Amino acid sequence: MTAAPFRLGWFGNLTAPNWRSGWSEDATTWTDARFYVDMVRAMERAGFDFMMLEDSLMVPDIYAGTAELELKHAVYAPKLDPVPVVSMLAYATEHIGIVATASTTFYPPYLLARAFATLDHVTRGRVGWNVVTSSEDRAAQNFGMDEIPEHDRRYDVAAEFLEVTTKLWESWTEKAIVADPESGYYADHTQVNPIHHRGEFFDVRGPLNTPRGPQGKPVICQAGSSPKGRDFAARNADMLLTIPNGLEEMKNYRDDIRERAAEAGRDPDEVKVFFVVAPIVGRTDAEAQAKYEEFLADGQHNFEFQMCNFAATMEIDFSVLDPDLPIPEDVTTNGHQGQFAIWKKVFGDRSIRDAASAMRIASLELIGSPTTIADKMDEAMEYVGGDGFMFLSQPPSRSYISDITEGLCPELRRRGLIRTGFGHRTFRDNLRSF
């Protein structure tokens, strides 16, 4: 049975594209962002709903107390600030949504609300905000803090932050701009009002000095996995990205978010869940399997790469642990707690070295021809109930993008599983169109 149509997103890192093959000039020219312009245009043609731009605010040096491994592999640094890049990507496209990551721990609410209201205008209603609380002490130390606040406290701050930014976006009504030459009024002052917010964490007078955007507010994206994070996402998010392990956990996660959304008084259909995948596509199943075997053969690189991931997102220095033993039970994090719990479960009883060397960050293993992968995606959505997949490539390359947009997506489109066009003007309306 063919599932109902689902959505596609791409999780993009504004870091150096794949440079290890030595074949591409993109490794040294990517900072002008034209690589990402080509990328987002390919996504739009292929039927993607959005491209999401990840971000972090530090050069990690947690692993072994040095930034050597991080900069060797260019995992989280160097990178570009995604907020200004949104404008460039939007100018190059017509319909696709573009989501930028920004932290509630470090941005002031007024500046963020103003930046994203501006982006909503210049993208003509196609911007989204990936709400993160950040999880790294090294990032905190770039903003005058010794360490990142405690996990649940960060979500308390984020909840009030969303309250403030929403009030600011609503401080201009839809009727505020009249541009009436007869009366001489450009904007009606009775439709532009201070918010007078005084809360536990923020005092903001308002109003915003940027008019209400085409969407009213940006599409809100979140990645909550912990109980606190799930509650926050269910109350606030239009879409979530998540990496539960396997079909059963994918279904459980989506069902849980929808239940929490209903309990918060929301229509669960307004909250779309995207499961992270990283397909390996070949013209045949055998060709795809050969690509996978090539990946596994690069075990030392994979191990180092994942150690960078764990150090940056979990603030855990795995260099002090025996890599030939499993993750000790007493290892905890103030970082991404829900995701760390999932990764520990995926590692299981395997040694850190063995598990990390073969680890691919994905909810579902997708390896094969376009036909084989389309079958698996169709079956997964039928079982889980929706809503879509978010593709991840760390780092991206033109060849991998082509595998997806020119190889897999035409097969998905032929089956009617992904969109063939955009029926609405704004990102949020297109996201909710099916």
Domains and CATH numbers, the chain: 7-168+206-280+360-431 (3.20.20.30)
Structure pTM? 0.94
- Mean pLDDT of the chain, nearest integer: 94
The pLDDT, as a whole number, for residue 69 is 93
Q: What is the pLDDT of residue 24?
A: 78
Q: Tens of pLDDT along 205-224?
A: 999 999 999 999 999 999 98
pLDDT higher than threshold 90 for residue 331: no
Q: Within a 10 A sphere around the Cβ of 239, how many other Cβ atoms? A: 31
Mean pLDDT of 285-310: 94
pLDDT score of 1? 46
Report the DSSP pairing between strands 239-242 and 272-277: parallel
Name the band, by pLDDT with cuts 50, 70 and 90, for residue 288.
very high
Q: pLDDT value at position 226?
A: 85
Lowest-pLDDT range of 20-29, 42-51, 103-112, 244-253: 20-29
Give how far Cα 387 sits from Cα of 160, 228, 247, 307, 423, Å. 28, 22, 13, 31, 18
Q: Which of 237, 171, 156 is nearest to 204 (CA)?
A: 171
Helices (H), 348-404: 352-357, 370-384, 398-402
